[in-house]
A and B are shown apart, each in its own frame.
Chain A
């Protein structure tokens, strides 16, 4: 460890124990996060969660969600539909469309001509899963993955759809998956936030769909459960750095006085919130050293950097985000979510989709392998996927070389790995048009219930009363974990 960091941590800890010796009230102790003391014997203990959670022994202690915002083309990547070659430029049969509503981007089209994938597919691994040439590295690890081809949703436009899959509701106002985890399970560490979000750059279509803070927001839950953005430019965490001209010693000196004066206030008024505030400032100070330690990847050996590919040293790339994700879960951050944009291929699938795949393919593979070689994959859940699927018929001009695809909610492909998910399986089937599900549908609520389940949460019992209703991430309809996926 960097001697300076070690020094700072020592003085921090000293402070902490001094405070502890002053005799804190129970309420203050709860938010003082003294898990380090417990951690010595017992591994990381969560602090700040609900008393009855986890509901059962979790298979996954943490999760990484690789979100492909914009909606990847399932039939060009995973959902192989060879018979479509015979359907080139023929219309999608009305019997297949079967009443599906269309976005107003293609509802005016006179025809719905089928665009077979122009990419080559092969079977891989023991599972024999089909993967296209766009994902050569993902193809290498299909036996680590559970590929789900039958995910489905109701929303057909980006904003409602991505809000739906991340918060369980199409309109703003609900709590995101990660904030539910922080609320229910608490934090496993005292130096870093429990839920971290990254928004790396992308190479495909630059006119990319928007993200919204609400996708990792806390909605009706308290704001402390919201995801914290880890940024690649400026302060990695907002306002982390001391102002110009103030070094760590000067900050420490100020904090020493602050703690003393705040302790005076507590002695006089007796509000436990004051003690909690003292603890929060100490945690802030610890973050000032632990976060730079987290984002400084110079201690990573070359072979690891090589695994993630050349982009890994480019801050703000997807590859660098994946490496940081691994470094975070190693440090007991519970949930990391990476939102990679640019997957909205209404046109130019041929030009834009390969670029998007190249951004993510090697890094996805590296992340899973890296976790595996560290023995962390078994209790780290990795999820990959977008907010809906795309149409087999072309939006705009169709040629053999190029085509576009509109939004499609009825089926799309996602994969999960590690954290108590059965490896090497393909779940769910779609019809030959990749338009309707013919076997084992998985609703997005089912997938979220599965994620919660692996983390030790019964999705029906993690609720929060909003306007009198016990509201949960997975909505009011009857949904649940996908049994077939569970180890």
Chain B
């Protein structure tokens, strides 16, 4: 490809005379085209009662099938007789004014306009030429039209566009100038503006391949994948919380990063699709392929108290089916959930047969309000894997050493027992960095752990809770209970947040019931009886902001000698509390020192301590005469290794090493990120037609199958999600490629060739350039689904490179720019606007991937709506440039209260699949861009850069700031306006230096101290102006 387009004039005057004004979908032409003009009218006005839905069909005919349309209806009339208006019953009916006869009937709230009736009449008169719905016809490579103007056009896309323009008497616009073009293409391929250096390099490059070099460079950038992923994540409904009810955190960002990487590595679209739909079913699936299946887990989930699991299960599966339909096929399956589709050829049976592919997930439909409801994948980072491997070797060595010693040591029973009891009381730790074995953690919301150093007393973690009112976390069911001996004391450590102290804290223990409570502070928790063992006051609240040890003699809370504690509760009223290391101080609980196997066995028989492994205690329990030699050997071996005082020195260090290594391994594992995945159950779950879509109204059982009306299932393909993907990606499938290509087109031009990119069915809009869409879709398949090649093809076209200037006449003719007689121009998306601000200010962090981040947002947004016990009820902004200045793609999305920086600019909440965003223009956007602290911080960064990098005088600095934001030099009048504004601002801030200091102190980063604050403030306001300019927030 060449860029000769820059060198040639293309300024034909636009001839308007021959044009008739056209609506968005139907362009002016005299001939009636069934697909474009007639089918949409019939679909919208008639299919409801005379369409694919059999149950509701009236009159015994359907207008979506030619055969039935021409045949005799129940009435004996023929709906349509080609070429004969008189005999065509529908013509009579649509022209009737008799309410009993007219069509569509008055109660339908539908009506045909006179022009539309004329079109239908014309179509019948001309012989009622019929064609099946365009989107369901298999792709055939369209022929590329010959060029209308030999001087215009770079690739075949342009021939299609020029042909259509020519039909409407239009000609293409002149090419955009180079500065606009590089800004446009850099945004469209990376979501970021071009740097000044990039602009300069492009301007300097006069070679014919200058533009292509830019396109190639951008396609190689890692920011390309980030940008492409953003659109996909809207479709995949990716978010960082469950989305329903508690809306707790859920960890899913490995999937987000998978999408970014897939685009960056130019993974072919067929592979991209297959791995997301069925990565787990690919033989020897890789880690990445497993992570990709998160696509089917992104839907919102719930664990609302009272939820009925079966109902939630059905909702989850329905979401997967509907999303698959929309994203990959552009069809609205949802309608056929409750009845056969009224407009498109999908039956209820089709819907539930698709349901059957997605219903066999090996996991609970309820999310348990945890971040990692199964099935999940845990990705241990390489360093962790290395360490675990090292620990494993060490552990194996220790185990071997134990074995070797045991083989060498021959135990001899002493003649006299010398067993002794340790005298000093010891601390037995029960809870530290995790719960005792077997314990089931519960609470008003799940146990939360912090790893912040100053908030941990012992080990690496402390449990924590922030509450409004009464709240607690607890467990029961510990496998080895704490046995109470005389004089034992229970203890734990607590830290009360001085900024948000609780009113009361309480400890409770369970030995079968919870009636053992001690509390500190106010008496607000009314469990048990005050002033008794079931509610014992132990004093005022401990000192705030400090780790304090709490001790409670077991006897004071009614725990008698011999009681066995299996559960512990940490309770509070209001405030933020941290708890760490808990257990018991005991004299008797400590193991005895044994030197005699015999006496140990006697003791075990007597007291049956739970700490001894079951297999050993079973052996000991056996009657003496039943014990075999081998049994005895095992018992002895266990004794020597674990109990025998004389060999402790040998074994204890080895055991400690093993224990330590196991703990460290568990710790590394626990700290590693997880992501939700799809995993098939061993046996497929049965699926049924659900009457009216109700989860509890099971009808006939159905088996897996894909809608026959589109394409038959590929022979030999497995009948599971893998086969489903093969069906979708069969080159004969009429929708998959068209739908994907249309979305790529939409990314460049703001509107797809099919405007309703989510609906290619009967009720969707017809394509503006059907042949072009087909040609590109075929190309896409033939290129082995090469996404970058398709992106490049569009980017290289002369169509894309046109100037976006609009004349009033042209605007009137084609306000939405569907014919593309000009280049694209529209407001940038939310993410691009914020990323641009951070980029031009020099703040943007360029790092890729990782956990989602929380840049600042106004206080109280989450609290205003959040469930009191949710772990996302309080927003705590991140700090540090590496987190708050990341690309917006990485911003944490709480789905019930998404960031205003995104939603204000039409970003979806990610609660449901969205493949096309609205684009609005509102005062709320103006307020945000003018006043959001991050935009003020960016304005200051931009102003500061102008001063530091923009040369010595005001004129060159203004040129710098203007070019940085728009890529072009300002005109004289623009430069004058900015100079005057700067002057006025200087005066303002020089008079009020305090205001200047305030303004430049906003944000995470710190202003350069060498610059006079009034000067920097004046430039900050100039930066603020730049970031609000229409030209800057738009793609031009």
Contacts and interface: CB of A to CB of B under 8 A. Distances in A.
Interface of A: 25, 27, 31, 101, 103-105, 156-159, 171-173, 193, 199, 205-214, 217, 221-224, 226, 228-229, 231, 233-235, 237-247, 249-251, 253-254, 257-258, 260-262, 264-266, 268-274, 276-278, 280-281, 283-284, 287-288, 406-407, 460-461, 463, 465, 467-470
A257 B981 contact: yes
19 contacts: A105-B305, A172-B895, A199-B865, A210-B870, A222-B906, A222-B918, A224-B921, A237-B927, A243-B998, A244-B999, A245-B995, A245-B996, A246-B995, A247-B995, A249-B988, A269-B804, A274-B1034, A468-B763, A469-B335
A25 B808 contact: yes
B334 interface: yes
Nearest to A346: B305
Given A280-B921, A469-B335, A264 B974 contact: yes
B304 A157 contact: yes
A269 B470 CA distance: 61
Contact of A234 (B858, B911, B984, B1031): B858
A223 B245 contact: no
A172 B909 contact: yes
Residue among B308, B926, B1031 with the most chain A CB within 10 A?
A: B926
B1021 A284 contact: no
Contact of B931 (A221, A241, A271, A283): A241
A269 B806 contact: yes
Contacts of B869: 207
A222 B996 CA distance: 38
Interface stretch (B428-436, B449-457, B625-633, B1022-1030): B1022-1030
B871 interface: no
Given A172-B909, A222-B918, A280-B923, A468 B868 contact: no
Most chain A CB within 10 A, of B245, B865, B996, B1017, is at: B865
Interface in B984-1028: 984-985, 988-989, 992, 994-1002, 1017, 1021, 1024-1025, 1028
A104 B308 contact: yes
Given A228-B924, A273-B826, A245 B932 contact: no
B243 A206 contact: no
A231 B859 CA distance: 10
Nearest to A172: B911
B920 A224 contact: yes
Contacts of A240: 927, 931
A281 B927 CA distance: 8
B468 A253 contact: no
A250 B926 contact: no
A208 B867 contact: yes
A246 B446 CA distance: 45
A250 B332 CA distance: 51
A105 B306 contact: yes
B764 A468 contact: yes
A29 to B, nearest CB: 13
B807 A270 contact: yes
Contacts of A209: 867
B932 A253 contact: no
A258 B865 contact: no
A186 B463 CA distance: 51
Interface in B198-234: none
Interface stretch (B589-597, B676-684, B896-904, B941-949): B896-904
A274 B804 CA distance: 13
B849 to A, nearest CB: 27
A277 B909 contact: no
Contacts of A208: 867-868
Given A224-B920, A262-B1029, A281-B923, A467 B758 contact: yes
A212 B931 contact: no
Contacts of A237: 924, 927
A281 B977 contact: no
A285 to B, nearest CB: 8
Contacts of A221: 918
Contact of A467 (B335, B696, B896, B936): B335
B988 A250 contact: yes
Contact of B245 (A171, A210, A254): A210
Contacts of A280: 921-923, 925-926
B468 A206 contact: yes
Contacts of A158: 245, 304
A382 B343 CA distance: 40
Contacts, number: 277
Nearest to A156: B306
Nearest to B322: A467
Contact of A468 (B343, B860, B895): B343
Given A265-B1029, A271-B806, A210 B867 contact: yes
Interface centre among A156, A223, A270 (most CB of B within 10 A): A223
Interface in B857-899: 858-860, 864-870, 895-898
A258 B980 CA distance: 12
A453 to B, nearest CB: 15
Nearest to A458: B109
A156 B927 CA distance: 40
B811 interface: yes
Nearest to B331: A467
Interface string B942-982: 00000000000000000000000000000101100110110
Interface in B67-87: none
Given A241-B931, A469-B763, A277 B921 contact: yes
B898 A213 contact: yes
A130 B922 CA distance: 47
B566 interface: no
Interface in B238-274: 243-247
Greatest chain B CB density within 10 A among A156, A157, A260 is at: A157
A82 B897 CA distance: 43
B912 interface: yes
B918 A223 contact: yes
A90 to B, nearest CB: 24
B444 interface: yes
A246 B928 contact: no
Interface in B12-63: 43
Contact of A254 (B300, B858, B981): B981
Q: Which of A101, A206, A242 has the largest number of chain B CB atoms within 10 A?
A: A206
Contacts of A104: 305-308
B805 interface: yes
B815 interface: yes
Which 6 pairs across A and B sit closest by C-beta, in order of nearness?
A: A468-B763, A103-B306, A245-B999, A467-B332, A206-B469, A245-B998
B759 A468 contact: yes
A268 B805 contact: yes
Contacts of B927: 237-240, 284, 287-288
B1017 to A, nearest CB: 7
Contacts of B762: 468
A214 B909 contact: yes
B930 interface: yes
A308 B916 CA distance: 46
B334 A467 contact: yes
A240 B904 CA distance: 13
A424 B815 CA distance: 52
Contacts of B332: 467-469
Given A156-B306, A261-B974, A271-B811, 12 more contacts: A171-B912, A193-B924, A212-B247, A213-B903, A228-B924, A239-B924, A239-B927, A240-B931, A244-B998, A257-B980, A284-B924, A467-B761
A291 to B, nearest CB: 10
A25 B811 contact: yes
B933 interface: yes
A284 B305 CA distance: 43
A281 B246 CA distance: 37
B1036 interface: yes
A206 B868 contact: yes
B825 to A, nearest CB: 6
Contacts of A217: 909
A397 B94 CA distance: 66
